């Protein structure tokens, strides 16, 4: 099953189990918001890659009332859920159904390009190409923020990551159906180590590359143009 088919299938159920499946949910998303280095009143242009149901966009829109958002995702069903979520916000939103790893251009230049729990579906070559594309589509002074998952630096570390995740989601009360849905989606994962991702950002031209938060496989990092 393709990534598009998987997320089209689970779109309507996706948000219901999110807090259970991300044991560090609050800190993970709070950090992604806190490291955005712009003033709340600025009229920013923001691109959300793999925007899904618009969760990250909704949080950032609450912080930046004058920002204009473009949400890009391979799944039309996920973006339909995002449009419902964002219907009460005063920001300007546009929705683009596209595979951001394959299109040659992301459109205009943006002040902020962000992503959450999406880029780990790309293999290393695709990640490198995407990081270069993101850098090219950031305005001078722009920032890229990625809240995502990373592969353990060694096989033993990865084993611990998986073990701790299973322990924690079960402790959060995840149902068998929710866990099976997550495991199905995880078959599409192409994770890379955090050290490799940070080095690849630097290779793409980013400066001030830093990891701001990590909880086992969950990490939030950024780089600036």
**pLDDT, tens digit (0-9, with 9 covering 90-100), for 79-92:** 999 999 999 999 99
Q: Is the pLDDT of residue 9 over 50?
A: no
User: What domain count does the chain have?
Assistant: 1
- Whether the CB-CB separation of 132 and 164 falls below 8 Å is answered with no
Cα 7 to Cα 15: distance, rounded to the nearest angstrom: 12
CATH of the domain at 135: 3.40.50.150
First-residue to last-residue Cα distance in the chain:
36
pTM of the full structure: 0.92
| Residue range(s) defining the domain that contains residue 134 | 3-224
The per-residue pLDDT for 6 is 45
Cα 127 to Cα 205: distance, rounded to the nearest angstrom: 14
Rg (CA), the chain: 17
**pLDDT, tens digit (0-9, with 9 covering 90-100), for 128-164:** 999 999 999 999 999 999 999 999 999 999 999 999 9
CA dihedral 213, 215, 219, 221 (to 10 degrees): 10
């Amino acid at each position: 099953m393709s990534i598009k088919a998987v997320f089209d299938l689970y779109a309507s159920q996706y948000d219901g189990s999110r807090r259970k499946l991300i044991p560090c949910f609050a800190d993970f998303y709070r950090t992604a918001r806190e490291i955005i280095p712009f003033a709340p009143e600025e009229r920013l242009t923001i691109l959300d890659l793999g925007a899904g149901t618009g969760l990250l966009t909704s949080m950032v829109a609450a912080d930046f009332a004058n920002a204009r958002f473009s949400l890009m995702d391979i799944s039309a069903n996920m973006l339909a859920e995002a449009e419902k979520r964002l219907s009460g916000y005063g920001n300007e939103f546009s929705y683009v159904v596209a595979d951001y790893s394959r299109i040659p251009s992301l459109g205009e230049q943006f002040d902020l390009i962000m992503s959450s729990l999406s880029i780990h579906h790309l293999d290393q070559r695709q990640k490198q190409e995407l990081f270069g594309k993101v850098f090219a589509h950031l305005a001078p002074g722009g920032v890229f923020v990625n809240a995502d998952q990373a592969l353990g630096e060694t096989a033993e570390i990865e084993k611990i990551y998986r073990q701790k995740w299973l322990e924690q989601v079960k402790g959060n009360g995840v149902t068998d159906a929710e866990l099976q849905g997550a495991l199905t989606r995880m078959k599409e994962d192409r994770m890379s180590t955090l050290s490799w991702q940070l080095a690849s950002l630097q290779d793409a031209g980013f400066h001030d590359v830093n990891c701001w938060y990590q909880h086992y496989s969950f990490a939030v990092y950024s780089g600036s143009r």
